[in-house]
Structure 1
Amino acid sequence: MNKKALFKFLIKANEHGYASGEATPSKREKDGSTTILFFSGEWSMHDNFFGGEPYGGRLVVFHKKKPHWIMVYYGNVSQRADNIAEVYAFLQHALNRMPHDAPFRGPKRFSERDFVYKNKWTGDLERYSGEEVILHKKKEIYRAWYMGGLVDQREE
């Protein structure tokens, strides 16, 4: 497995996925979920999620059409938030700052105006889990959990 190539693809896919904003091409599925696809050479990303409050989904990275890496996620904006759209716009700004050495959502900390994003994770590319929160004026208004890692790696 080429970890360096996977890291590189995850960063590139993030730039073209949900974090890039509303211009991201997406498809509404028959089951009510939304899918975002991204392709680059032998790599592809399939991000499928159910929106609304709360939301949940999974992002799968394929290499040569074989599943290679996965992230599952679940979260929501709290009732305390005044403007859900503003919270998700800020989340996208945070996710756009994904660390190149730890491509698990956003950075450890990011702030803008009265918002603060915090992300805490354990593990590495092979197996990880984490939690992210958003504070507005020091009050928690968003929380999400995620986990994942490599899939289908054992050779038979």
Structure 2
Amino acid sequence: MDEAALLQFLLDASRRGYAAGGSVVKVKEADHSTTIVLEVGKWRFHDNYFGGEPYGGREVVFLEGRPVWMAVYYGWVEGASADPERVYVFLQRALREAPAAFPVRGPDEFSEGASTYRNAYEGGVANFSGEETIHEGGRLVYTARYVGGLVDRRPGD
């Protein structure tokens, strides 16, 4: 598999998926989860999450129908005084700024007004873990943790 092609597809999917806000098609599933699916050529992106508040989910990338990459994530708005809608709209804007070198979540840092998004991670697209936070006026209002990487890499799998 071409890792550069995976990175390019992830960058496109990260901007056209959840981060796109109301313009993306979201399907409510019978199990009360929400699914977003994007397809480009031989590539398919499948994001399935539960929540609300807090939320958790997984993203899987398929190449020619086989899973090749995945990420698992869990996040929440901190404290009762933070407005979840405002926090998640800001999160979507930050996620649209995902860097080409690591388009898994948002950039290392993104600020707008009194809000600041930070993404700290270890590893690369093949094997990673990280945490993203949002601060408003210096106060922590959101945290999410994520982990993932390449899957199904053994010959014969």
Q: TM-score range by the shorter chain?
A: over 0.9
1:37 lines up with 2:54 in the alignment? no
Indicate yes or no: 2:14 matched with 1:17. no
Task: Give the TM-score taking structure 1 as reference length.
Answer: 0.98
Equivalent position of 2:50 in the other structure:
50
Q: How many residues align?
A: 156
CA contact (8 A) 1:80 1:141 kept: no
Task: Please name the residue that 2:133 is paired with.
Answer: 133
1:154 Cα shift? 0.9
Structure 1 contact 67–151 (Cα < 8 Å) conserved: yes
The aligned counterpart of 1:120 is 120
1:82 CA drift (Å) = 3.3
Q: Distance in 1 between matches of 2:3 and 2:69?
A: 11
Deviations 1:79-108 (A, max 9, x none): 244321110000000000001001120000
Q: Distance in 2 between matches of 1:14 and 1:81?
A: 29
Quick one: which amino acid aligns to residue 91 of structure 1? L
Any conservation in 2 of the 1:47–1:58 contact (CA below 8 Å)? yes
Supply the distance in 2 between the matched residues of 1:72 and 1:81 (Cα, whole angstroms): 27
Q: Extract unaligned runs of 5+ from structure 2.
A: none
Q: Does structure 1 retain, via aligned residues, the 8 Å contact 2:10–2:104?
A: no
Paired letter, 2:19: A
Q: Mind listing any 5+ residue stretches in structure 1 that lack a counterpart?
A: none
Could you list the structure 1 runs, at least 4 aligned residues long, displaced by more than 2 angstroms after superposition: none
The Cα offsets for residues 113-139 of structure 1, whole Å up to 9 and x where unpaired, read as 110001000001110000000000000
Which residue of 2 is the match for residue 72 of structure 1? Answer: 72
